């Protein structure tokens, strides 16, 4: 997504733009699988966005695909626990910034004490009282006197969905930024956004968009080496032997991939020395087709379970809702602890959790299933990696970085990718203008 953002912003400045794409699709992790899954097209992973994703939504506006999104506005999040106990967060419309808090007050299974305590972190954000740089999200919540009940029933689903980590494993500054944008922004900023079409359909117009403006995408053009001389990138060598020359370059790839293609001597100078420090958080997206409906809700946040979200594709998607079968997506964020399990074992684990959550459904036997384990879904942004998060400019004059892992106050999301692309494009344009 960062590469698309960079390209679109550079084309606005009337520069000639080429995108080198390593595979046969564009959009990074935001793509759909080529092979149909029953009557559906499924994605590389379920994506959930927020109304505060202004930069990402702007890109979709320009591609003309924003209408293919479900906007949950005002915010409405149903929660469910093992045993089938339900709760509901429904933001009160017409109350501005107080709408979410009014919704929290009405939640049935939060104690009055917890409902009062949730004001503390919101007041800290409103007053700009940032957490310590070394603090984890859990540290921030505990220092804000959040009860165990509140952390389990409210904060954990929020943090897993937005930061792809457990509260103890991610930087407090990130949840502070997310809460500020979502809870203290406009009411529309707090809305959830879920695609109503396969992800690739959202980006389908990009090739035409680029071609119409003089840009070009070169698919299946994986870079093997970056040729650098006298603090300048001279060219890129692809795996098929092509030499790509340009005045300036934006590298919108993960840090470990970047480390593989830059010269060894360059990897030993700042800021490239820190590329090896990053680790990754995994996400599991499990797709199941059942012959029975588990829930009439479009989606559910799960409490006290190894799984965090369930999405009812029959309700959410514009296509693939015919017939008597039901497609559900189940997600597990921060899934590194399951890396040693086979897909069969993961499937069994998830089905066991689903039967606890929906006891009335009886024994669940899917007609079809697929497990997608994205082991490098996002960079793991704890307090240590936040402090070395890379800026877009580098020690190489005409080399710039973009991606959701680069420096920002946001977690690794589609929005931070779009922002980084815009920023790196601005830096590249300034560099081009400065040339004699």
What are the pLDDT digits (tens) for 52-86? 999 999 999 999 999 999 999 889 999 999 999 99
Across the chain, mean pLDDT equals 92
Q: Look at residue 321 and tell me whether its pLDDT is greater than 60.
A: no
| Extended beta strands in 246-298, E state | 249-251, 280-290
Phi, psi (degrees; rounded to nearest 5) at 68: -90, 25
Q: Cis omega before residue 366 (within 30°)?
A: no
pTM for the model: 0.93
**Domains, in order of start, for the chain:** 2-68+196-278+382-434 (3.50.50.60), 74-190 (no CATH), 280-379 (3.90.660.10)
Beta strand pairing status for 280-290 and 326-333?
A: antiparallel
* Model pLDDT, residue 98: 76
Write out the two tokens for 16.
Answer: 């000639």
Percentage with pLDDT > 70 across the chain: 98
* Model pLDDT, residue 187: 81
Confidence of residue 93 (pLDDT cuts 50, 70, 90): confident
Q: Look at residue 320 and tell me whether its pLDDT is greater than 60.
A: no
- Per the listing, tokens 């794409």 go with 21
Q: Cis omega before residue 222 (within 30°)?
A: no
The b-or-e profile of 403-416 (16+ CB within 10 A means b, else e) is bbbbebbbbbbbbb
Query: Three-state DSSP class for 416?
Result: helix
CA pair distance 166, 157, nearest whole angstrom: 9
Read off the pLDDT of residues 363-392 as tens digits, 9 standing for 90 and up: 889 999 999 999 999 999 999 999 889 999
Please answer whether residues 22 and 220 qualify as being in contact, where contact means their C-beta atoms are separated by less than 8 angstroms: yes
- Summarize the confidence of residues 234-253 as an average pLDDT: 96
* Model pLDDT, residue 323: 61
Q: Look at residue 166 and tell me whether its pLDDT is greater than 60.
A: yes
Q: Look at residue 190 and tell me whether its pLDDT is greater than 80.
A: yes
Confidence of residue 47 (pLDDT cuts 50, 70, 90): very high
* Closest-CA residue to 164 (of 83, 279, 269, 275): 279
- Summarize the confidence of residues 304-311 as an average pLDDT: 95
Instruction: For residue 148, count other CB atoms closer than 10 A to its CB.
Output: 10
Confidence of residue 181 (pLDDT cuts 50, 70, 90): confident
* Model pLDDT, residue 38: 81
Confidence of residue 436 (pLDDT cuts 50, 70, 90): confident
Please answer whether residues 52 and 182 qualify as being in contact, where contact means their C-beta atoms are separated by less than 8 angstroms: yes
* Model pLDDT, residue 7: 96
The DSSP symbol for 67 reads G
Neighbouring residues of 218: CB distance < 8 A, sequence distance ≥ 6: 18, 19, 20, 21
Write out the two tokens for 376.
Answer: 């490098």
Range of weakest confidence among 41-50, 90-99, 244-253, 403-412: 90-99
CA pair distance 354, 351, nearest whole angstrom: 5
Cα-atom radius of gyration of the chain, to the nearest Å?
22
CA pair distance 217, 220, nearest whole angstrom: 10
CA pair distance 310, 295, nearest whole angstrom: 10
Q: Look at residue 299 and tell me whether its pLDDT is greater than 90.
A: yes
């Amino acid at each position: 997504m960062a590469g698309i953002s960079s390209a679109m912003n550079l084309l606005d400045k009337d520069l000639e733009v080429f995108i080198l794409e390593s595979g046969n699709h564009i959009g990074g992790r935001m793509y759909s699988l080529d092979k149909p899954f029953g009557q559906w097209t499924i994605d590389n992973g379920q994506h959930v966005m927020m109304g505060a994703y202004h930069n990402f939504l702007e890109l979709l506006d320009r591609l003309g695909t924003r209408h293919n999104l479900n906007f949950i506005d005002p915010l409405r999040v149903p929660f469910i626990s093992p045993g089938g106990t339900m709760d509901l967060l429904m933001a009160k419309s017409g109350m501005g910034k107080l709408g979410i808090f009014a919704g929290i007050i009405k939640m049935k299974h939060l104690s009055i004490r917890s409902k009062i305590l949730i004001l503390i972190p919101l007041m800290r954000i409103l007053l700009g009282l940032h957490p310590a740089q070394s603090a984890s999200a859990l540290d921030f919540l505990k220092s804000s006197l959040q009860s165990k009940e509140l952390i389990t029933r409210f904060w954990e689903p929020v943090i897993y969905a937005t930061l792809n980590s457990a509260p103890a494993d991610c930087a407090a500054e990130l949840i502070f930024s997310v809460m500020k944008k979502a809870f203290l922004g406009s009411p529309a900023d707090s809305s959830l956004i879920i695609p109503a079409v396969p992800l690739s359909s959202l980006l389908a117009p990009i090739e035409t968009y680029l071609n119409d403006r003089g840009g070009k995408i070169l698919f299946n053009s994986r870079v093997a080496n970056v040729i650098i001389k006298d603090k300048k990138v001279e060219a890129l060598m692809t795996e098929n032997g092509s030499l790509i020359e340009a005045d300036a370059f934006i590298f919108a790839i993960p840090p470990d991939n970047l480390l593989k293609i830059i010269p060894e001597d360059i990897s030993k100078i700042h800021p490239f020395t820190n590329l090896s420090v990053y680790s990754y958080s995994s996400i599991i997206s499990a797709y199941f087709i059942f012959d029975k409906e588990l829930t009439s809700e479009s989606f559910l946040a799960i409490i006290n379970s190894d799984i965090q979200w369930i999405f009812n594709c029959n309700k959410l998607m514009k296509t693939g809702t015919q017939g008597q079968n039901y497609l559900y997506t189940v997600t597990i964020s921060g899934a590194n602890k399951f890396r040693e399990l086979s897909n069969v074992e993961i499937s069994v684990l998830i089905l066991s959790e689903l039967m606890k959550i929906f006891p009335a459904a009886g024994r669940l036997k899917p007609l079809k299933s697929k497990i997608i384990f994205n082991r490098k879904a996002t960079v793991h942004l704890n307090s240590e990696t936040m402090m070395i998060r890379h800026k877009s400019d580098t020690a190489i004059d005409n080399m710039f970085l973009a991606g959701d892992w680069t420096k920002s106050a946001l977690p690794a999301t589609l929005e931070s990718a779009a922002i980084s692309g815009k920023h790196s494009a601005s830096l590249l344009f300034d560099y081009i203008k400065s040339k004699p």
